[in-house]
Amino acid sequence: MMQRIFALCLLGAAFAAASLPARADRDAVQFGSNIHVKPDAAVHDAVCFFCSVHVEGKVTGDIVVFFGNVHLAGDAQHDVVNFFGKVTAEDNASVEDDVVSIFGVVRLGQNVTIGKDLVAIFGTLHAAETVSVGGDRVVQPAWLFFGPLLLIVLIVMVIVREYRAYRRRLALRGYNFPPHP
């Protein structure tokens, strides 16, 4: 039994020694600080949590933003993904793969090119007539999520209100109310 445990530990140590460290030479990853790619600069991936990404140059990888905005005035050679924020592409900007926005707003200027799909889930899309989308254009408005959610909240509120009124009537049943003259 001890030999098996020793062999497993030795095997785990060999795998740990053989693993390569992660390389993020040209990646820009921020938490709470905005990322700005200047016109003559290029980054591979731009990942941002609780901040915004402003691209005037080139992003050769993906742009992923959580709870922030993406402003694209240059080129993105892969995907642009945004959760709970706004994606704005200036005139003549390009995204070679997909643009995905969940719970946000997508604004596309004149002559914007999207290589594959444009997806706006539970948000809005404002696009010029000259926007070119190479794949599918999927837009699910926010009321599809918030409408049923509002209905469920209203039903729960009515149930809670009626239950409280029932408990109040039970509590007041034991009192002689109003008092006899």
Helix (H) or strand (E) holding 85: none
Q: Is the predicted pLDDT of residue 6 greater than 80, yes or no?
A: no
Cα angle, residue 117 at apex, residues 139 and 105 outer, rounded to 5°: 40
Determine the 3-state secondary structure of 118 from DSSP. Answer: strand
Give the model's pLDDT for residue 86.
93
Is pLDDT at 16 greater than 70 in this prediction? no
Mapping DSSP to helix (H, G, I), strand (E, B) and coil, where does residue 68 land? Answer: coil
127, 108 in Cβ contact below 8 A? yes
pLDDT at 3 (0 to 100): 83
Instruction: Kindly report the average pLDDT of the chain as a whole number.
Output: 87
Answer with the residue of higher pLDDT: 43 or 144.
43
Extract the tokens encoding 56.
């005037």
Q: Is the pLDDT of residue 127 over 70?
A: yes
Contact indicator for 110, 128 with CB cutoff of 8 Å: yes
> What pLDDT score does 22 carry?
46
**pLDDT given for residue 156 in this prediction:** 97
